[in-house]
Amino acid sequence: MIQPRPRTIPEATVARLAVYLRALTTFAEGGRSTVSSGELAEAAGVNPAGLRKDLSHLGPCGVRGVGYEVQTLRDRIARVLGVERSRACVLVGIGNLGSALADYAGFGSRGFEFVGLFDAATARIGQRIGGQTVRPLDELADVVATTQASIGVITTPADVAQSVCDRLAAAGVRSILNFAPVPLVAPAGVDVRKVDLSVELQVLAFLGQQRLDDAAVDGAALGEPA
Amino acid sequence: MIQPRPRTIPEATVARLAVYLRALTTFAEGGRSTVSSGELAEAAGVNPAGLRKDLSHLGPCGVRGVGYEVQTLRDRIARVLGVERSRACVLVGIGNLGSALADYAGFGSRGFEFVGLFDAATARIGQRIGGQTVRPLDELADVVATTQASIGVITTPADVAQSVCDRLAAAGVRSILNFAPVPLVAPAGVDVRKVDLSVELQVLAFLGQQRLDDAAVDGAALGEPA
DNA sequence: GCGACTTTGTTCCTGCGTTCACAAGCGGTT
DNA sequence: AACCGCTTGTGAACGCAGGAACAAAGTCGC
């Protein structure tokens, strides 16, 4: 049995496909019917050749000499990414960040719907955020089972993140997005993806500092007084 | 003039150094005086060999047969990352996400201090969040100049992000962390780093879907009925 | 004091991602 | 109908990150 096309799309490509999808939506709203790889690449902030290679994973979907049909390409990327059907998500840890995510309009428009918000603090239970009511952690397994939620988001403090991860996995969640600054271990069959905001800031700060240091050294090499 | 050690540390290594720094702090609080690369790697969720290679960029800092001295290594990483001195940051766009970041304790403990919160909506101006008062955008240049803020964080809607980026760069900010879902173009000498929360979720969803598809194909290949 | 064990630091290698460059193909024009 | 310009899709080369294996070095026990 020959696979006509390898189903394994590189993760970096998947991430960019999501960006292309958003750019294509903007083009469609602007009334454009076709775009070239150059235009789309500029809108997405990537290299045109790389964009074409990314799209090649979906099979031929452009017309040579013309470009890509906006609507067709948009639909195809959406189907590959699975945006066509809505995905139920649960969110654990309703602090500042959790509240912001629960209320973030950008998720709903991309097919992600929060069907359950959970927190351990009794003070938070009952609060209404983004159309949902915060529930106690005890109800997590029930909600995941009844809603068939496949994605869990962890915005708890670091010390309870692993325990929450275990409970999510046990309840049947298949994918976890972790904002807590600890590496999580999950059973096989459960994907974990980490977003670490402090690390992003520290990398940024380091790059800025490094640039200053380099400039200082270059200046010294050019004969500046010590 | 020979550089005893190349000053260019890979960006991926820098990101992991920040993780090691956090793990080392945890070890220090636990009273540990030394750790091996294996222990630290497990706490950071990486491969021990890779960890040693990362640390090799800082020069020899361990003792063979023993491991790494927690306090010494922590100080060295902190110095390389520039955590020792506090960095002034400004934040533009005080929506849900912006408020959460302004109030996020994880930044302050890592040497990042928000010295200005800005928003265009008059309704938000004057609000107090995390010890700061939200100000109008007009005051951005003044605040950046007086506080010598070097880092700007953008949590505005996409359509105004580029304009905010321009104003930040003009005001003298050197590094920008962008949460808006658009690629920003900044003048030379200004670093931009992007965090796209919807993309993270979409990648996660795709991986989960792909896993299901693969399982279905595997099952069929094993002789399941069609 | 010496040997064995432990752990670091480095080197090699494999695989992946990115970029450049070119051939193939389609539409418009004469 | 044939030519020309434009754009896609792909093949090759380059650079980089990650992982495994090995040599160097220091400590602990005898």
pLDDT in tens, A151-187: 999 999 999 999 999 999 999 999 999 999 999 999 9
Report which secondary-structure segment, H or E, holds B26: helix B11-29
Length of chain B: 226
Rg for chain B, CA atoms, rounded: 22
What is the per-residue pLDDT for B3? 42
Q: State pLDDT tens for residues B19-47.
A: 999 999 999 999 999 999 999 999 999 99
The first and second tokens of residue A60, run together, are 């031929």
CA distances from B57 to A134, B14, B77 (A): 46, 10, 10
What is the per-residue pLDDT for A196? 95
Residues 6+ apart with CB under 8 A from A112: A86, A87, A89, A151, B198, B201, B205
Percentage of chain A beyond pLDDT 90 is: 82
Interatomic separation, CA of residue B129 and C1' of nucleotide C28, rounded (Å): 61
DSSP-derived secondary structure for A140-190: HHHHHHHHT--EEEE-S-HHHHHHHHHHHHHHT--EEEE-SSS-----TT-
User: In terms of Cα–Cα distance, which of A53, A88, A200, A134 is closest to B196?
Assistant: A200
What is the per-residue pLDDT for B156? 97
CB B214 within 8 A of CB A7: yes
Q: Do B197 and A104 touch (CB under 8 A)?
A: yes
Q: Do A107 and B195 touch (CB under 8 A)?
A: no
Average pLDDT over residues B150-170: 97
Q: Which nucleotide is nearest to B36 (CA to C1')?
A: C7
What sections of chain A are H helices per DSSP? Answer: 11-29, 37-44, 48-56, 70-81, 96-102, 105-108, 140-147, 158-171, 197-221
Q: State pLDDT tens for residues B85-101.
A: 899 999 999 999 999 99
Sign of the Cα pseudo-torsion (A144, A147, A148, A154, in order): negative
Q: Do A104 and B112 touch (CB under 8 A)?
A: no
Residue with tokens 């500029």: A42
Q: Which nucleotide is nearest to A35 (CA to C1')?
A: D7
Residue B201 pLDDT > 70, yes or no? yes
